[in-house]
Structure 1
Amino acid sequence: MTESWVRKTASNLRSRPELETRQVSPVSHVQHMLTLEEKRATPNTAMYAIEGGKELAKALENVSALIPLPFLSSFVNVGIKVLEACQDASAIEENVKDLQERAYNLVLVVVNSTIHEKTSPELRERIKALQCVLSDILADLAKIKDQRKMLLVFFPDLNKGRVDKCVGRLNEALEKFQLASQLRAELHVEDVLVKINSALLPQLDRIEAAVDRFSQPHNSPHPREDMPLPHRIFCGREDLVNEITSLLATESTSRVCITGVGGMGKTSVGLAVAESVINKKIFLKKHVFWVPCIEAKSPDLLCRILYAQLRVTAESYDTLGPLVAELDSSKQRRLLLLDNFETPWLSGEDQTKVFQILVRLAELPHIALLVTMTSGFTPQDIEWYHRPLAPLDPPAARDAFKRKYRDAAGGHGLIADGPDLDELLASIGYIPLAITLMAASGGCLGISPVDLLRDWKEEGTEMMSGNQTRSMDDTIRLSMERGIVKSNPEALQLLAILSLLPAGTIGSNLDLWASSLTPSRCHAAVKTLCTAALIELQSDGHFETSRIFVRPTIRSYMSHKGRIPPETRDQVHDACYKFVLQHKSIPDDHKFKGDLEALASEEINIQALLMEIPINAPQPNAVDALIAFSLYQAWTKSSTVVASHALAVARAQDDLHVAVVTDRRAAARRVAEAHRSLALSLLRLDQYDEACVHFEEASARFKNLPGGADLPCAGEASMLLLETRMYLEPFSAELESLAQEAQRNLSHDRTDEYHVAHGFLGLGIFLWWSQSPKEEVLDALSAAKEIFERLGCPKSIAMCLYHLARTYAFHGEYAEALPIIKDASEKAEQSGEVGVTLLRTLSANARYLIVLGCYDEASGVFARLLPLSQVVGAPGSIAQDLELLAYNCAAMMNLPGARVAYDGARIQFIKIKSTRLGGDGVDRCTDNLRRLESMAEMTQNGFSQLMRPDPMY
């Protein structure tokens, strides 16, 4: 920078032979120089005019604050541009050479005058006038240069006149400058050079000495570090880099702060931006400075690092004054990349002083600031363009993983990169550093994503080790050791709590999980952890509904090596069990809908905590919470994971053979309830055979409870067993006997109207299925409906209405069935039990509309039905609904829609092909697809040839 230009200029001026103190004529001078050229191969005078002038101009520009030559470098620069333009306009060489020599002499004379005369305001104005003349001449020369070469060859006189006018303007300006006599006496050019030599070289010597002192200060402020190279594997951030580059290109938007948790790739983005602004010539390479702040644990150390990285020296490094003055002395734009700024911002005890340093830098408009910091908030009172970093999207994460894996494996690519890799990337939260370290580990050892996922679950972030600055554990540990975190014990306690919640939680539920913290202390802890980027807050403007969560890498780090105290873990588990049991209800309860919403808001967290319950040593209420939650899932989106674990824990507790009879009864009841819960989920998933096994076991266990049978519960299990077997078997005396037994058990206590009504409902369903007389079916269903209406049970009323409508539809009375099924849908909505009841009623509604020819109205029903069917996830229901859609599309002459829907239905029917429903469905869809493939367009005749969905009631 300054040092190299000064030294080069001084060396050039000292070494030129024409600067010897002797007088020669212009001719003899040129001859002398030609002789030297031949003997020494040194540049001639014209070359010195340009090259030496360049060096002089740059030296004057860079050290103008150190020597008494104000405003001079701008003038010399314009002169140099004129000399260069003269060289380019070579088609009329002799004329331009004359102009070139006069311009060179002018620059020398002005420099000489400035050195030997007092720089009065009048002299400055005269020099400014000359500069304007030079600028006009430069414009004329640019026009000559832009002409096509053919024009310059055939019409050279056009430009001769233009150059002559330039020379004339130059002479006229010189007359006004009152130095024309010196320039006309061309014999005295050497005198000018000698005078410049004698006057300027001593000053250059002093400048060079000053540069030497500053380049090798007596007390180096801090070891200087070179900017790292941008990361070679850089995926998924290109748009962000381009956006930040555009912001930095303009002074008004050149304050950018990148924030995010440790390992999110902030430094990588910062380095990529630095490379981008250089490549796009927004900043010169020498004007882009990387300032590593990771060791700047105090304002004083930050100040010294700034001095070192910006190559600024001073007598003292205790204040920022000399550095700011140096930056302000030149208005050349510069970029400061303050990397890992969280260290001075969050670790030091005096954040005010750190902020003052940042403000002083930000006050210089031509200094662009790009700050990266592990934080959730930017420093206040500066107009930042805040860009918080999110994880990579899945495609970019896959690309980054595979490229790094290939690198580490010596060019051998990852073979198994399907769903297993997706699961691995999701488990580490798509965080760039975690991806890089995981891929490097896998590639180095040549192991698969399956093995890496196993290691991750066992070892966590410990397996992600690189060098000291690239270890995931070290990255997280540094964030936790920030002064702002260590000074707030509640923050670490809250971090431990939130680390047990994989989905985070909303602000209004913090009192549920962190009941030991007061609201005010909890809010303060949230702010501290967000500031340190250990947690993240997805705000919607209201704290109560904003989501607070911890990234997977930090959660994994916390879960190992006893970083979460046992008492904290027990507290969170107890809170989970209490929360589930507080919201335990059945679909006919008036609070069921609200309970579903509450459990849904914490479903992922609850499942994760419940699955941690040990089989042999569960805490109090653990099994009850497991069973209650598995029932909740059966009513919403069925899953056998929690239900199977509930059964395993309940069995282990029952095997303890507790001596007290009441405890034995409670333990045995839990096993029966767990069987029933698991069976219900299996039924919802169309896994009928397995469901039958557990319904039978549940019914038997309820009958054989220690201390006496629970017949109503046994009757419920038997009635569900009957419903399941009706999917698998034709009518038989055995099923009729099962129906009668189930109703007797449900009606055992005549005062228990709720179970009595369920007995009538189950009987009515069986009578309909066994094709009993219509009146018998309607009587049983109507009796059940009347009791449920009296008790105010919306879900059960909806089921009664559903089966009443199906009875009318079965007998072809679709006009009577349609209003009943619509009422059933309204009751199902009211109950909140949308997983089965609403799904069934909507599906029946679509069937009846299709049969009645109301295809447009049926299309409206499908808009609600199909997404709900997908959520529930039962292949049988999905298949039937898609087949209905296909048939409705065909009826509306939509041939492509019909083909797509039939194909989707066939795929779902294949999943349950072993059942009668599945086998028949595959045959119908296959046959209809074959018919549709032969059609060029759908016609009414073609539609009539399609097999109708079965059943249509």
Structure 2
Amino acid sequence: MAGCFLWPRRRVTSKAKNRIEVHVVDASSLSDGENLRMPTTAMYSISGGKALAEAIEGVADLVPLPFLSTFVRMAIKVLEACEETTAIEENLEDLQSRVYNLMLVVVDTVPINKKTSLELQDKISKLQAILDNILADVRKIKEQRKWLLFFFRDLNKERVGRCVDRLDGALQQFNARLSPGRESASQLTRIEDAVNRTTRPHNAPSAHTRQDMPPLARKLYGRESLINEIATLLASEDTSRVCITGAGGMGKTSVALAVVDSPAIKNAFPKEFIFWVPCVEAKSSDLLRRILYAQLRVTAETYDSLETLIAELDVTKQRRLILLDNFETPWLRLSVEEQSKVADILLCLAKLSHIALLVTMTSGFTPDGIEWEHRPLSPLDSEAASAAFKSRYRDAARGHELVVDGPQLEDFLTSIGRIPLAITLAATSGGHLRASPSDLLQDWSRSGTGMMSEKETAGMNRTIRLSLDNSSVKANPEALKLLAILSLLPAGTTGSNLDLWAATLDPPSGAAETLLAAALIEQGEGSFGTARIFVHPTIQSYMLHHGHLSLEIRNAVYDACYSFILDHKSTPDDRKFKSDLKALAVEEINIQGLLMETDVRNPRPKAIDALIAFALYQASTKPSTVVASHALKVAQTAHDTSHCEAARQLAEAHHCLGKTHLKLQRFEEASVHLEKARAQFKSLPGGADRTRSGECSLELLDAWMFSRTKDSNDMQSLAEEARTNLAHDTNDKYNTARGLHIYSSFLWWSNSPDEEVLLPLLSAKALFEELDCLASSAECLYLLARTCAGSAVDKAEQSGGLDILGRSLSYTVRCLIHLRCYEEVMGVITRLLPLEQAFGAPGGMAQAVELLGYTCVAIFDLAGARRAYDGALLHFSKMQPGVMSKEDVERCSLNLTKLQGRTMIDEDCFHTLAKPDPLD
């Protein structure tokens, strides 16, 4: 029987490739019948592992005989166990070869469409039993620890050798022979087809040039968790439809390639079942089909449909991964009709549940009918961007490190949007030149992407041009206009405010949808109306330096900005002031950026008025002299060139800058500009504006009172001038009330009798309340509270009643705390504490000391605060049970606990304290 089947000689294989290749003896030495039954080397060359198992399982399914399928699956288990046990590789490969050939011979021996004899079935069952025993031996070897394998290597070799001997003996008894004929040849052909389909996936030549998958990029900073997340999604059939989106240069392909190279993907998909499909040249549905056939290595008689390709993919359920890279080309840059055909192609692939799809594209507008897992790429965070820049810089500088770090590098990376491609190109260029971050930032501000060498610039610009060349963008002129408009807004805008900046577009939301699809703009979190719509800095730079921002569009944006500011110009006494502040705050960064671009020598109409109005808005919120100083510079130049209305605008600009300095408590600078404004309003070409001059006098008086640089006579004169000028028009109740209020403030400041202070103050309050002026009414009440509190204390002191004096002082302290006049509080408390101590009531003393503790925290006196709260707790403890407030003790204890262990007090600490009762 040995002559019926000769064992193949073993071929030492490369462990890296993990292949088992069967060699048979020269067929010329066999009989004709043996020639028909011997498998050839070409026919049965097969990759190991999972591919082998799938191929043989497919073969077993060709012959629907249960006993044969059971035998084949047992043989597979032995082969897989051998694959997993590599410590004594040489003997196991010998065993694998024998089991593999035994399997093929048995399958070849069983006739098709004929009744199988009981004798043959029995022999196959005996072979299966032997394989079962061999499997047990191999598993015992596998389960041994490594050191046992090392010390008992020879013993294990003997065990494998006995397995081989058992197979030899079994084969000598397996003497079933099949008569040579067409049926055997047919069966072997079917076996060959099944093996080829499963072990060499789509390995046919193609009419379209096949491209290799790009090499894996260098380390990707800041993307590690995202890569692992996507790999996990693809490994599961439930979430194996993933779309990576992002603007050009965000690193979509690099992330996708890193996903493919991740351990999770390698475990789920054999290397030969991962396919890269470059879609950047797929400018029609027909080209996309041809590229798919080429990259998946499938040939067909016609490429007009996907039938052959889908059938090839569906031959077995072996999982495959298809990476469709740069899918925006066939999806977003084609006509509606072609786009529909592309969607059909993708849907056909998606219907195969064992096919995982990974798509990269610039837009998240993916074809319907597929449940996608969208993973948009954002710019790198600060830490990752810095690490990526330094690494690339070091390589380009041939090992030299970036010398300057910190804020300068952060500023530069922020200016280029922390976009991976921009970081790579800028770092490469900077490394070649050994440039510092500040040098790079200057170059970026001056020339944008032109700061890079020609080769690198082409790379950055090409990604942007590809998006601009999108057919839907080119077919929509309004989309390009909106892109230009948004490129002028450094902070982007909300969807609801697109009408503000792009009023001529009808509607701007349609153009925005086109740009979002092309990834030329981004949408932040939230709904379209409230989310920020913005352009990345690299695209903004490209639009700026490549002639896409026409003078017409620029002027339209400037005019929209000026109109928006002036439409929301109001004072704190206007009912719409609060809503105006909110509206301006949403666009504050854009407005300031556009206003600072105002041409000093040739400002557009309304530009100076808008500059002044916006600077006054900032004075009411976050005072800054930047815009106010620019307003003065533009107004001064206009005045010097005899610009119409220039004299008034110059006076307004001086007033605006003076008021801003006053808010910043720069009293000397405030006085200079307010005095100039006051003088210019008095000498306007068309006649003096007494009201505006009176307003300047009002604020100048504030600056003098705070700085204490003028004598009382000068201040008295200025106060009377301010009241007179503001009240010169008896029909103007509002400004009459303002004159009365500022005069009352001066009287209070100069320690005039309370009756003199209260008389004009109450008149001003009544007028403001009649006019429903909330802010000015509040100011009157503020001054009234301070005046009345002081008056109450004076009268109580004159009366000699200690009880009423103590209560007056206590409530004065509380009023001053409400007004945040903490320095004044300390003066009143020094009068209150001795009085409470002399009075002898522990409750009054406890409350007074608690007020002292709270005030000490407000002025950052940590030691004083601790002593005061300790004292307050002591005095609260002296009160009789039932009288002492549990809440008072808990409040003081809580505040004292917050102060323990601290070395200093700051604003945050102060705001966490519980306020004394009844201040809450």
| Bucket of the pairwise TM-score, normalised by the shorter protein | 0.7 to 0.9
Q: How many Å separate the matches in 1 of 2:376 and 2:93?
A: 59
Deviations 1:680-726 (A, max 9, x none): 22222233332222122211211221122222222222222222233
Q: How many Å separate the matches in 2 of 1:274 and 1:86?
A: 28
- Aligned position for 2:10: none
- Aligned position for 1:112: 108
- Aligned position for 1:916: none
1:806 and 2:786 correspond: yes
- Residues 312-323 of structure 1 aligned to structure 2 (within 5 Å): 312-323=298-309
Q: Secondary structure at the match of 2:23?
A: helix
> Is the 1:846–1:858 Cα contact (8 Å) retained in structure 2?
no
1:622 and 2:601 correspond: no
Q: How many Å separate the matches in 1 of 2:692 and 2:601?
A: 27
Q: How many Å separate the matches in 2 of 1:744 and 1:91?
A: 105
- Aligned position for 2:708: 729
> Is the 1:886–1:898 Cα contact (8 Å) retained in structure 2?
no
**Counterpart amino acid of residue 223 in structure 1:** T
1:471 and 2:459 correspond: yes
- Aligned position for 1:591: 576
1:283 and 2:269 correspond: yes
Q: Secondary structure at the match of 2:369?
A: coil
Q: Secondary structure at the match of 2:267?
A: coil
Q: Secondary structure at the match of 2:262?
A: helix
**Counterpart amino acid of residue 756 in structure 1:** T
- Aligned position for 1:273: 259
Alignment size in residue pairs: 821
Q: 1:328 aligns with which of 314, 323, 333?
A: 314
- Residues 356-375 of structure 1 aligned to structure 2 (within 5 Å): 356-375=344-363
**Counterpart amino acid of residue 498 in structure 1:** L
Q: Measured at CA, do residues 861 and 653 of structure 1 come closer, stay the same or move farther in structure 2, by a change above 3 Å? A: farther
- Aligned position for 2:697: 718
Q: Secondary structure at the match of 2:820?
A: helix
Q: Secondary structure at the match of 1:411?
A: coil
Q: Measured at CA, do residues 669 and 291 of structure 1 come closer, stay the same or move farther in structure 2, by a change above 3 Å? A: same
Q: How many Å separate the matches in 1 of 2:647 and 2:435?
A: 46
How far residue 640 of structure 1 moved from its aligned partner, in angstroms, is 1.3
**Counterpart amino acid of residue 860 in structure 2:** E
> Is the 2:21–2:46 Cα contact (8 Å) retained in structure 1?
no
Q: How many Å separate the matches in 2 of 1:121 and 1:777?
A: 122
Q: Measured at CA, do residues 418 and 739 of structure 1 come closer, stay the same or move farther in structure 2, by a change above 3 Å? A: farther
How far residue 729 of structure 1 moved from its aligned partner, in angstroms, is 2.7
Q: Measured at CA, do residues 56 and 551 of structure 1 come closer, stay the same or move farther in structure 2, by a change above 3 Å? A: closer
**Range that drifts further, 721-730 or 671-680:** 721-730
Q: Secondary structure at the match of 2:268?
A: coil
How far residue 337 of structure 1 moved from its aligned partner, in angstroms, is 1.3
1:140 and 2:136 correspond: yes
Deviations 1:534-560 (A, max 9, x none): 12223534x433332222222222222
Q: How many Å separate the matches in 2 of 1:552 and 1:582?
A: 30
- Aligned position for 1:871: none
How far residue 753 of structure 1 moved from its aligned partner, in angstroms, is 2.6
- Aligned position for 2:247: 261
1:605 and 2:564 correspond: no
Q: Measured at CA, do residues 566 and 785 of structure 1 come closer, stay the same or move farther in structure 2, by a change above 3 Å? A: same
Q: Secondary structure at the match of 2:671?
A: helix
Q: How many Å separate the matches in 1 of 2:30 and 2:747?
A: 127
Q: 1:20 aligns with which of 29, 43, 54?
A: 29
Identity score, percent:
50
Q: Measured at CA, do residues 781 and 243 of structure 1 come closer, stay the same or move farther in structure 2, by a change above 3 Å? A: same
> Is the 1:244–1:273 Cα contact (8 Å) retained in structure 2?
yes
> Is the 2:244–2:359 Cα contact (8 Å) retained in structure 1?
yes
- Aligned position for 2:532: 547
- Aligned position for 1:790: 770
> Is the 1:580–1:628 Cα contact (8 Å) retained in structure 2?
yes
- Aligned position for 1:775: 755
Q: Measured at CA, do residues 647 and 104 of structure 1 come closer, stay the same or move farther in structure 2, by a change above 3 Å? A: closer
- Aligned position for 1:438: 426
**Counterpart amino acid of residue 784 in structure 1:** A
How far residue 795 of structure 1 moved from its aligned partner, in angstroms, is 0.6
> Is the 2:22–2:97 Cα contact (8 Å) retained in structure 1?
no
Q: Measured at CA, do residues 11 and 230 of structure 1 come closer, stay the same or move farther in structure 2, by a change above 3 Å? A: closer
Q: 2:286 aligns with which of 290, 300, 303?
A: 300
**Range that drifts further, 311-320 or 264-273:** 311-320
Q: Measured at CA, do residues 364 and 88 of structure 1 come closer, stay the same or move farther in structure 2, by a change above 3 Å? A: closer
Q: How many Å separate the matches in 2 of 1:856 and 1:574?
A: 59
Deviations 1:728-769 (A, max 9, x none): 336623434433333333333343332222222222323333
Q: How many Å separate the matches in 1 of 2:295 and 2:122?
A: 41
> Is the 2:112–2:187 Cα contact (8 Å) retained in structure 1?
no
- Aligned position for 2:378: 390
> Is the 1:299–1:354 Cα contact (8 Å) retained in structure 2?
yes
Q: Secondary structure at the match of 2:860?
A: helix
How far residue 857 of structure 1 moved from its aligned partner, in angstroms, is 11
**Range that drifts further, 805-814 or 510-519:** 805-814
How far residue 613 of structure 1 moved from its aligned partner, in angstroms, is 1.2
How far residue 259 of structure 1 moved from its aligned partner, in angstroms, is 1.1
Q: Secondary structure at the match of 1:336?
A: strand
How far residue 303 of structure 1 moved from its aligned partner, in angstroms, is 1.5
Deviations 1:910-933 (A, max 9, x none): xxxxxxxxxxxxxxxxxxxxxxxx
**Counterpart amino acid of residue 706 in structure 1:** P
- Residues 664-683 of structure 1 aligned to structure 2 (within 5 Å): 666-683=645-662
**Counterpart amino acid of residue 723 in structure 1:** D
Q: Secondary structure at the match of 2:275?
A: strand
Q: Secondary structure at the match of 1:13?
A: coil
Q: How many Å separate the matches in 2 of 1:770 and 1:756?
A: 21
Q: How many Å separate the matches in 2 of 1:200 and 1:285?
A: 28
> Is the 1:715–1:746 Cα contact (8 Å) retained in structure 2?
yes
> Is the 2:704–2:710 Cα contact (8 Å) retained in structure 1?
no
1:448 and 2:436 correspond: yes
> Is the 1:465–1:471 Cα contact (8 Å) retained in structure 2?
no
**Range that drifts further, 488-497 or 101-110:** 101-110
What stretches of structure 1 of length at least 5 have no aligned partner?
24-47, 172-179, 825-839, 863-878, 909-937, 939-951
Q: How many Å separate the matches in 2 of 1:809 and 1:607?
A: 43
> Is the 1:105–1:183 Cα contact (8 Å) retained in structure 2?
no
Q: Secondary structure at the match of 1:329?
A: coil
Q: How many Å separate the matches in 2 of 1:88 and 1:557?
A: 56
**Counterpart amino acid of residue 230 in structure 1:** L
**Range that drifts further, 600-609 or 719-728:** 719-728
What stretches of structure 2 of length at least 5 have no aligned partner?
1-13, 33-40, 794-805, 830-843, 870-891, 914-918
Q: How many Å separate the matches in 2 of 1:860 and 1:602?
A: 43
> Is the 2:274–2:321 Cα contact (8 Å) retained in structure 1?
yes
Q: 1:684 aligns with which of 651, 663, 668?
A: 663
Q: Secondary structure at the match of 2:387?
A: helix
What TM-score comes out, normalization by structure 2 length? 0.76
**Counterpart amino acid of residue 688 in structure 2:** A
> Is the 1:10–1:205 Cα contact (8 Å) retained in structure 2?
no
- Aligned position for 1:502: 490
Q: How many Å separate the matches in 2 of 1:87 and 1:453?
A: 58
For the aligned residue pairs, the C-alpha RMSD in angstroms reads: 5.3
Deviations 1:468-490 (A, max 9, x none): 79722211111011111112122
**Counterpart amino acid of residue 591 in structure 1:** K
- Aligned position for 2:684: 705
> Is the 1:409–1:444 Cα contact (8 Å) retained in structure 2?
yes
**Counterpart amino acid of residue 479 in structure 1:** S
Q: Secondary structure at the match of 2:489?
A: coil
- Aligned position for 1:696: 675
Deviations 1:894-947 (A, max 9, x none): 476488695647999xxxxxxxxxxxxxxxxxxxxxxxxxxxxx9xxxxxxxxx
Q: How many Å separate the matches in 2 of 1:308 and 1:749?
A: 88
Q: How many Å separate the matches in 2 of 1:119 and 1:91?
A: 44
